[in-house]
Each structure stands twice: as structure tokens, then as C-alpha cells.
């Protein structure tokens, strides 16, 4: 039986009907919203349309990926990147509208599970690093998602690039997180400072033309991503790390450079994981949330 997957991002909302193999059977992409009521309304509308299109009589379970963490005790969301979601009970609101089981997941976990299940063969240890409005990663060991969404949500110390007191402050309260350098908003701010009017697309264009200022911004982000990958490989010894999210989709030069730096590393040291561009693109969170909710329904 299929499930409905929902992925609420910093600047977009994606929903879909997903079958148990991870295939997306139908999609809806409502416009971004600014309040909890608007969010619940637009999700309810999208779910109605998906159910009508899919025409399945069985009650479907609904998995929701959110850019923060859901408090297990209260069901309320804690979220720094979409402040209007702070303290909201989206799960409760959707559950009361539909005759379905609704489960929430951290967006990084959902995307990680989606990417893991999309692999043709699943490694023992897998990490997915997601660079979007926020930056987060998820870890799968022996077919189980590891809990990376503790108190500091997704900003645990593996994603801190610089311990320096001069490092940029992050919204999570730490300094020097990868998010302050390689997230969409951080790179867009850097791009704007060198005159790019169209954010990451402009930055990619300037980088391709050989612009020295664009090269510097991209180099800083690449070095930071490389440092985090190095940190993750030493701590978790994954066989495969996939990197995805809106930032790498719109700024492909990042993965080009991360890949070539990693290839150099491979020549000498042992325990080098494969680094790969994520496969599912925009669908990762929707697929992962649906598959996780199906798994938890078994």
C-alpha cells in the first residue's frame, strides 16, 4: 500500500504519493506559506488532491518531514529555520483532518532514508549530507537510521567546521557550523556581496567564467564541506557518503571540487568512503518520509 510523503523546506513544500518501493506515483507542490494555519490548509488540500488522483480506498499513512525536530513527548516542533513552526502541532492538526496515521520526521532523516533506499545495493554504513536552507546529515548503520536529532537538532559537533571564536555565529547558538558557510542563505549572502543578483545561479555563472571572487566563495564552501566529510569518515567509517540538497543542485561546481579533492585523498589513505551526488533530488524528503511511515506501520 502506498503512503503520502510530505517535505516542508525553508522555501518550498513538496508532497507525493509513494509506493513501498520508493516510486513517486503523484506529486503536488504547494506554494510556500507563512503561518501554521496556512501550512495545514495547503497540506490538507494537497493530500485531498493526491488521494483523489490516486483513488485508493485504503486509508493511507502520512509521513511529514520537517526542518527541525519534533518533541517526542509533546509532538510540538522545534525549528530555527522556519520560526513560525516553533511550537506548532502540525502532526496533530493533520491527524484530526484525515483518517490516517501521521508521523513526523526530521527532514535530514527523511532525505537520508530516501537516498539510502534508492541505492541499488545498501552499504553497512551510509551518510547523507544535505545542503539547503539548513545543513544537516543523517546516518544509517545496519539498515537503521541513527538518532542524530538530539538537543542541538542537526547541528551536532560533527558539522562544526571551525572552533575559532572569530567563526561566524550560527542560528543554533554554536559558531563555525557548516551552515554558516555552505547553506543556501549563507552562499546567497556571499554571492550578493560580490554583486550577484540571482543568488546561487549567478554565483555558478561567475565561477564558470573564472571570476576570482566567486572562486574564493566556492573554495571556502568546498573546503568546509571537505572538512565535514573528513570528520564524518573518521568518526563513522561510512562506505558511502551522498551529498544532496538545493545548494548542490543549483551550484554544481561545489560537487565537482569536493569530488576532485576527495579523489586526491584516495590515492594514499585507507578507509576512504565513496562520495556521490544524491540520486533523488527534490524527491528525497517526500520518498523518505513516506517509506519511514510505511515501515513504522508494519
| Residue numbers at the binding site for Zn ion (CB under 5 A) | 155, 170, 172, 174, 177, 179
Nearer to Zn ion, 170 or 254 (CB): 170
- The residues near 48 (Cβ < 8 Å, ≥ 6 apart) are none
- The residues near 219 (Cβ < 8 Å, ≥ 6 apart) are 257
Give me 11's grid cell: 522555501
- Give the largest Cα separation in the chain, rounded: 58
Nearer to Zn ion, 104 or 181 (CB): 181
Question: Phi, psi at residue 200, to the nearest 5°?
Answer: -65, -35
Neighbours of 35 (CB within 10 A): 11
As measured in angstroms, the least distance from the Cβ of 246 to Zn ion is 18
Nearer to Zn ion, 173 or 195 (CB): 173
Q: Is 126 helix (H, G, I), strand (E, B) or coil?
A: strand
Contact 155, 177 (CB under 8 A): yes
Nearer to Zn ion, 231 or 239 (CB): 231
Cell 483523489 appears where? Answer: 52
As measured in angstroms, the least distance from the Cβ of 152 to Zn ion is 8
As measured in angstroms, the least distance from the Cβ of 170 to Zn ion is 3
As measured in angstroms, the least distance from the Cβ of 173 to Zn ion is 7
- The residues near 93 (Cβ < 8 Å, ≥ 6 apart) are 36, 40
As measured in angstroms, the least distance from the Cβ of 133 to Zn ion is 13
Nearer to Zn ion, 228 or 243 (CB): 228
As measured in angstroms, the least distance from the Cβ of 230 to Zn ion is 18
Nearer to Zn ion, 174 or 290 (CB): 174
As measured in angstroms, the least distance from the Cβ of 135 to Zn ion is 8
**Strand pairing partners for 244?**
130
Nearer to Zn ion, 54 or 156 (CB): 156
Task: Give 156: exposed, middle or buried? Use CB within 10 Å, 0-12, 13-18, 19+.
Answer: middle
Could you give the CA distance from residue 89 to residue 74 in angstroms, rounded to a whole number? 8
Amino acid at each position: 500500500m502506498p503512503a503520502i510523503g510530505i517535505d516542508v523546506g525553508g522555501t518550498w513544500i513538496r508532497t507525493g504519493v509513494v509506493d513501498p518501493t520508493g516510486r513517486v506515483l503523484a506529486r503536488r507542490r504547494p506554494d510556500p506559506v507563512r503561518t501554521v494555519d496556512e501550512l495545514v490548509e495547503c497540506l490538507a488540500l494537497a493530500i485531498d488532491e493526491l488521494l483523489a488522483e490516486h483513488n485508493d480506498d485504503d486509508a493511507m499513512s502520512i509521513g511529514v518531514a520537517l526542518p527541525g525536530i519534533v518533541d517526542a513527548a509533546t509532538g510540538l516542533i522545534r525549528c530555527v529555520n522556519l520560526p513560525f513552526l516553533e511550537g506548532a502541532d502540525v502532526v496533530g492538526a493533520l491527524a484530526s483532518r484525515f483518517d490516517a496515521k501521521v508521523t513526523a520526521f526530521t527532514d535530514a532523516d527523511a532525505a537520508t532514508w530516501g537516498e539510502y533506499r534508492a541505492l541499488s545495493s545498501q552499504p553497512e554504513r551510509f551518510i547523507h549530507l544535505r545542503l539547503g536552507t539548513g545543513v544537516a546529515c543523517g546516518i544509517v548503520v545496519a539498515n537503521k537510521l541513527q538518532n542524530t536529532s538530539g538537543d542541538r537538532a542537526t547541528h551536532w559537533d560533527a558539522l562544526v567546521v571551525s572552533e575559532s571564536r572569530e567563526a561566524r555565529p550560527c542560528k543554533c547558538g554554536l559558531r563555525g557550523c557548516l551552515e554558516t558557510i555552505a547553506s543556501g542563505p549563507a552562499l546567497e549572502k556571499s554571492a550578493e556581496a560580490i554583486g550577484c543578483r540571482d543568488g546561487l545561479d549567478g554565483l555558478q555563472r561567475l565561477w564558470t567564467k573564472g571570476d576570482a571572487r566567486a572562486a574564493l566563495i566556492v573554495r571556502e564552501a568546498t573546503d568546509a564541506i571537505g572538512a565535514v566529510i573528513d570528520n564524518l569518515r573518521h568518526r563513522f567509517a561510512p562506505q558511502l557518503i551522498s551529498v544532496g540538497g538545493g545548494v548542490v543542485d543549483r551550484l554544481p561546481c561545489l560537487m565537482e571540487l569536493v569530488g576532485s579533492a576527495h579523489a586526491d585523498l584516495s590515492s594514499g589513505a585507507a578507509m576512504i568512503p565513496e562520495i556521490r551526488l544524491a540520486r533523488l533530488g527534490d524527491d528525497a524528503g517526500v520518498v523518505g518520509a513516506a517509506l519511514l511511515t510505511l515501515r513504522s506501520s508494519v
